[in-house]
Amino acid sequence: PSAGRDVESADFEPANEVEQRLMAAVREGSTNSFLSTLLLARVLVPVAPTSRPGALPGDEGFAWQTEQLDGEPYVVVYTSPERVADHRGESVESVEIKFVQLIRKWPDPSWSFAVNPGSPIGAKLPGAQVVALANWADEVGLRDDADAEHAESDATGADQPGASAPPPEEPAPPTMMQKVVPPEHLDYYLERGYDRVGGFVHRVSEVAHLTTPAKLVAALGLDYAGSPFRRDADEVYVLRWPAHRPSLYRIPYGGPTEEAMRAMDGWVIERAPFRGNGFAPGDSGDVIAEFKVDSVRLPHGAQLYRIRSDGTEQLVATLDSDGPVWRQVGEE
């Protein structure tokens, strides 16, 4: 999006934690950080006078309000009442909704989107990109509370007498996950048969292009103070396994402080560079969904790989859960 280009930011005062993060993204010139922050934010959506009281976008009776910007229709939203006052100069009736929920209800691809117009944390997106962003959020598992409630309601309704059950679908294969293993943990796996994994993990499909230690460390934000990982390392080890119970892999909403955690409606407090917005805190420009899992047992067949600085990777060992023991390649 075109972000933060409307006005100078010298006298700008963020009204909340979300606006502080948006401002930081603008100063860094990071579109990825801006979008990932916005995806988890709650926004104020002005409503048309004919809208049914209490209705949210997507509800029956909700009436969208648009503005003409640059001669085009825009749905304009704000991240605080202060930004509403800055742009509108008056109080307007609005509803609060998660941004990720708003874009899933986008009414018309020909309508563009604007957030905080006229401010340093303003941005615009064409309608087609809003729809694409909503599809991407679905793909990486960014669900909102309303989606979960709707899914639960659908499941309950299917159990009612007379309800017709949908035809069974072929189960999708489990998602492959990956975790970078600290060097000091390597012997626990290979020598002691350790068969658990925990902490921050990522989908293999989203990190497969990170083919060197430097790329992994940069994209996943692993070079924090005191980190055992180095960008100039000759090699790094990663675990890969199928996640048979996806509900155990939660999006770690939160932040580095209790205040930041509350601002994100989250549940995790971790030291910086943790952002708590559902994405790895890297500085490479990659947008990678991040998940957190408590200590879980790895399944039979989980694999340990070595990734070298020349871009090659090698299977080192496979987990035999009968031991448990890690069968190293070439071992009888």
- Whole-Å CA distances, 317 to 184, 189, 198, 229: 17, 9, 19, 21
Same domain, 184 and 139: no
Task: Tell me the per-residue pLDDT of 233-287, one tens digit each, with 9 for 90 and over.
Answer: 999 999 999 999 988 998 888 888 888 888 777 889 998 889 887 888 888 877 7
The residues that bridge with 319 in the sheet, in sequence order, are 326
135 with 212, same domain: the answer is no
Whether 278 is covered by a domain: the verdict is yes
pLDDT for position 128: 77
Beta-bridge mates of residue 224: none
What pLDDT is recorded for position 195? 96
Lookup result for tokens 């930041």: 260
> In the beta sheet, which residues pair with residue 44?
78, 96
Would residue 250 count as lying in a domain? Answer: yes
Q: Give tens-digit pLDDT for 215-230.
A: 999 999 999 999 999 9
| CATH number of the domain where residue 93 is located | 3.40.1350.90
SS3 assignment, position 20? helix
- What is the rounded end-to-end Cα distance, in angstroms, of the chain? 55
Residues 112 and 192 both lie in one domain: no
pLDDT computed for residue 322 by the predictor: 92
Residues 89 and 194 in one domain: no
Read off the pLDDT of residues 20-43 as tens digits, 9 standing for 90 and up: 989 988 888 777 778 888 888 899
Q: What is the pTM of this model?
A: 0.60
Higher-scoring residue by pLDDT: 153, 196:
196
1 pLDDT above the threshold of 90: no
Peptide bond preceding 273: is omega within 30 degrees of 0, i.e. cis?
Answer: yes
In this predicted structure, what is the pLDDT of residue 30? 76
Indicate whether 181 and 130 sit together in one domain.
Answer: no
Last residue of a domain, one of 93, 121, 144: 144
Domain boundary among 122, 144, 166: 144
Asked whether residue 164 is assigned to any structural domain, the reply reads: no
pLDDT of residue 142: 63
Distance CA 56, CA 63 (A): 9
Show which of 144, 164, 199 is a domain's final residue: 144
C-alpha–C-alpha distance, residues 40 and 140, integer Å: 13
For residues 227, 229, 230 and 236, what is the CA-based torsion angle, rounded to 10 degrees?
Answer: 180
Cα–Cα distance measured from residue 95 to residue 77, given in angstroms and rounded to the nearest whole number: 10
Whether 149 is in a domain gets the answer: no
Same domain flag for 189 and 291: yes
- Classify residue 259: in a domain, yes or no: yes
For the residues 169-174, what does the mean pLDDT come to? 75
Give domain status of residue 154, yes or no.
Answer: no
200 and 135: one domain? no
Domain count within the chain = 2
Q: Do the domain assignments include residue 152? A: no
Q: How crowded is residue 28: how many other Cβ atoms within 10 Å of its Cβ?
A: 12
Helix (H, G, I), strand (E, B) or coil at 233: coil
Q: Which residues pair with 180 in a beta bridge?
A: 238
Task: Please give the radius of gyration of the chain, using alpha carbons only, rounded to the nearest integer.
Answer: 23
What is the tens place of the pLDDT at every residue in 82-140?
A: 999 988 887 789 999 999 889 989 988 889 999 999 899 998 888 877 877 787 777 66
Instruction: Clarify whether residues 121 and 62 are in a common domain.
Output: yes
CA distance 262 to 254: 7
- For 204-302, list the strands marked E by DSSP: 235-243, 254-255, 268-269, 291-297
**In what order do the strands lie in the sheet containing 235-243?**
291-297, 196-203, 175-181, 235-243, 303-308, 313-320, 325-328
Q: Which domain holds residue 17?
A: 2-144
Residue 271 lies in a domain: yes
| The pLDDT value given to residue 10 | 63
Cα-flanking dihedrals φ and ψ of residue 147, to 5°? -60, -45
Q: What's the pLDDT score for residue 133?
A: 78
One domain, residues 214 and 321: yes
pLDDT value at position 166?
Answer: 59
pLDDT bucket at 151, cuts 50 / 70 / 90:
very low
Q: Is residue 77 located within the same domain as residue 19? A: yes
Q: Are residues 217 and 123 in the same domain?
A: no
pLDDT at 210 exceeding the cut of 50? yes
Give tens-digit pLDDT for 45-93.
999 999 999 899 989 999 999 999 888 899 999 999 999 998 888 778 9
What pLDDT shows up at residue 183? Answer: 94
The H-or-E segment that residue 14 falls in is: none
| Same domain (yes/no): 110, 193 | no
At 147 the pLDDT is: 46
